[in-house]
Structure 1
Amino acid sequence: MTADPYPGYAWLREHDPVCPVGGPHVPGRMWLVTRYDDVRACLADRRLGSGAPVGPDPHPPGISHLDDPGHARLRRIVAAAFTPAAVSRLRDRTARTCAHAVESFAGRGRADLVAEYTREVPVAVMHDLLGVPEAERAPAAGVLDMWYRAKFQQPRDEAKLAEVLDYVRGLVAYKRTHLGDDLTTRLIESGALTGDELEVMVMTLIGAGHITTIQFLGTTVLRLLGDPGRRAALLGGDIDWSRAINELLRLDSPSHVAEYRYAGEDMTIADARVGEGDVVLLSLAAANRDPNRFPDPGTLEFTRDARPHLAFGHGAHTCLGSHLVKLETEIAISTLFGLLPDLILDIPSGEVDWGYAPTFRGPRALPVTFTPREPMISSPPGEATDHRDSTR
């Protein structure tokens, strides 16, 4: 993936805002939508469905691939776990997870922040939420590789998909006999999901809960490594965290495109005639840098009110985990730079390798150097604790 796809997005917004694109792994025609107003309208347009009308996947669909009423039913079941109040209760544990990750490399004076931090933290946080202890988890690198290759790479890696399914089934089987104070236990005990639905829900939560956050933490760390003034203002409390994170999400949208939408009927988007069954690809990243919505869109401006950004989507499929992403980002950034204030990128920023196209965009590695520090005397984050007798 090019290090900077935004000039291409700018050209499309101006000259071909609803552009036919090649999709060798998608039957029929595909359209790429790049203007903010068009993307936002399409995200809320119920004529554009989330379920493929032909060639259905043999595996049960996840929540993001369902339309109402099925989508609304599943969303209601898990929504309570992602409210601001529920997410705030994860603050202390997330802070311990971040501190423990930093301590694991703080004594060396050098690290790859993607491999050792921005990838580790989101995977750990989501497994914690689901009540999966460390002994039952795959390594973070393996989790990312499995989900990306199984769910987002084109063509899909069927062997990796089987690996993901086996992994999730193992986690669900473990939780059925190790109930605790966690989201998976609540889903099991609610009885609201069939066995297949429970497995697909856990698979969806793990995937959605780490793959975009990894990209966003990586781009945010890179931005702040190159801007010590703004970093100091943010960490010093001179800049509001919520406003800053929204602006960073707008500028460096971790998901460059939304999940496929499928036209349920013939329709017009801008001046393009989209046929029934056509695939519509909505570019969140291009929309978030539309100068007609955000003046000087390529500039990071923490005083900007970027809340209408589309990084979390819009409409019925707006990301449930938006509050969790913001909490993780605030804690991960403040912990990293608070413990290691003199972090320096060890390569020119122009040499950073970007990957995970076309759906995502994030750095593959962030080699840094810093003054080594003695490990703090602190307890590790610990494993998910089972609080109940599983034989009840």
Structure 2
Amino acid sequence: MTADPYPGYAWLREHDPVCPVDDPNVPGRTWLVTRYDDVRACLADRRLGSRAPVNPDPHSPGLSNLDDPGHARLRRLVAAAFTPAAVSRLRERTARTCAHAVESFAGRGRADLVAEYTRQIPVAVVHDLLGIPEAERAPAADVLDMWYRAKFQQPRDEVKLAEMLAYVRKLVDRKRSHPGDDLPTRLIESGALTGDELEVMVMTLIGAGHITTIQFLGTTVLRLLAHPGRRAALLGGGIDWSRAVNELLRLDSPDHVAEYRYASEDMTIADARVAEGDVVLLSLASANHDPKRFPDPGVLDLTRDARPHLAFGHGAHACLGSHLVRMQTEIAITTLFGRLPDLALDIPGDEIDWGYAPTFRGPRALPVTFTPREPMTPAPPAGATDRGRAPRHRAASGLG
């Protein structure tokens, strides 16, 4: 993936805002939409459905691949776990996880912040949300590798898909035998989901809960390393965190395109004639750099009111986890730079290796140097436990 795809997006917005593209993985004609107004309108247009005519996976479609009423039914079942109040209950555990991760490398004077920090935090937080104890979790690198290769890489890696499904099934089996005060237990006890739906829901929550947040934390660290003055103002309280995170999301949308949309009838988008059955790709990243909506879109302005950004989508499929992402970002950044204030990138910025094309964008590695710190003794990482009730019966607890 090119380190800077935005000049290409700019050309498309100006000359071919709804253009046909070749996608060998999708039958029929595919369109790419790049202007802000068109992308936002399409995200809310019920004529563009999210459910594929043929489901390629050997299980039920997830939240992002369903239309109403099925989508609304599943979304209602999990929405309460992602409210601001619910997310705030994860703050303390998230802070301990971030502190523990920083201490693991603070004494060395150098680290790869992707491998050792920005990849670790989202995977830990989403497993906390699901009530999975530390000892039962797959390593963060393995979790990312499974989900990317099984769900987003083309062609799909069938071996990784099998590994991912096995991991999720073991996780669900564990929650059946070790219920706790957590989302999977509540879903199981509600009886509102079939076994297949429950597995797909947990799979969706883990995937959506980490894969884009890893990219966003990486780009956020990179931006703040490059702008020490703005970083100091943010960490010193001179800039509102909510406004700053919105601008960082706008500038570096971790999800470059929304999930596929499928035209349910003939329609016109801008001047393009889209036929029934055509696939429509909505470029969130290009929309968020549209100068007609955001003046000087390539400039980082942490005081900008970027709230209309589309990094979390729009409409019925707007991201449920937006509050979770904001919370993680604030804690991860304040913890990292608070402990290691003289962090510096250890390679030229133009040598950053970017991935994971074409869906996501974030640094694959962030080698940094800093003054080594004397070790602290933080609380252990906040791996969730099944607490609040006794197991109904004994069973093997390992996820393998």
Q: Deviation at 1:225?
A: 0.7
Give the 5 Å matches for 1:1-392: 1-54=1-54, 56-387=56-387, 388-391=389-392
| Separation of aligned partners in 1, 2:21 and 2:143 | 30
Once residues 47 and 58 of structure 1 are traced to their aligned partners in structure 2, the CA distance between those partners, rounded to angstroms, is: 26
Kept after mapping to 2: 8 A contact 1:150/1:160: yes
- The structural deviation recorded for 1:58 is 3.1
Q: State the distance in 1 between where 2:201 and 2:312 align.
A: 19
Is the Cα–Cα contact under 8 Å of residues 124 and 383 in structure 2 kept in the other structure? no
Aligned-pair distance for 1:332?
0.3
Structure 1 residue 56, shift from structure 2 partner: 4.7
353-362 vs 374-383, which moves further: 374-383
Report the Cα distance in structure 2 between the residues aligned to 1:363 and 1:381, rounded to whole angstroms.
25
Tell me the amino acid that sits aligned with residue 325 of structure 2. V
Give the Cα separation in 1 of the matches to 2:119 and 2:315.
Answer: 29
CA contact (8 A) 2:59 2:196 kept: no
Q: Deviations over 1:137-181 (max 9, x none)?
A: 111001001101111111111111111100000101111111111
Aligned residues: 392
CA offset digits 1:108-139 (Å, max 9, x no partner): 11100000000000000000110011111111
SS in structure 2 of the partner of residue 357 of structure 1:
coil
Note if contact 2:110-2:367 (Cα within 8 Å) is conserved in structure 1: yes
TM-score by length of 1: 0.99
Name the stretch that deviates more: 48-57 or 247-256. Answer: 48-57
Q: What is the one-letter code of the residue matched to 2:282?
A: L
Superposed CA RMSD: 0.9
Report Cα offsets for 1:315-372 as digits up to 9, x if no partner.
Answer: 0000000000000000000000000101010000110000101000000000001111
State the AA in 2 paired with 1:330. E
Q: Which amino acid counterpart does residue 154 of structure 1 have in structure 2? A: Q
**Distance in 1, Cα, partners of 2:309 & 2:351:** 28
TM-score, structure 2 length as denominator? Answer: 0.97
How far apart in 1 are the matches of 2:232 and 2:332? 15
Contact 1:181–1:385 (CA under 8 A) maintained in structure 2: no
Structure 1 position 187, deviation (Å): 1.3
Give, in whole Å, the separation in 1 of the partners of 2:276 and 2:127. 40
Task: Indicate the residue corresponding to 2:397 in structure 1.
Answer: none
- Please state how far the C-alpha of 1:57 moved relative to its aligned partner: 3.4
The aligned counterpart of 2:396 is none
SS at match of 1:20: strand
Unaligned residue ranges in structure 2 (runs of 5+): 394-400
Q: State how far apart, in whole Å, the 2-side matches of 1:110 and 1:311 are.
A: 32
- For residues 148 and 180 of structure 1, the distance between their equivalents in structure 2, rounded to whole angstroms, comes to 29
Mapped to 2, the partners of 1:391 and 1:52 lie a distance apart of 39
AA of the residue aligned to 1:389: A
Tell me the CA shift for residue 26 of structure 1: 0.7
Q: Deviations over 1:4-45 (max 9, x none)?
A: 000000000000000100011110000000000000000000
Tell me the alpha carbon deviations over residues 200-235 of structure 1, each in whole angstroms, 9 at most, x when there is no partner.
000000000000000000000000011110110000
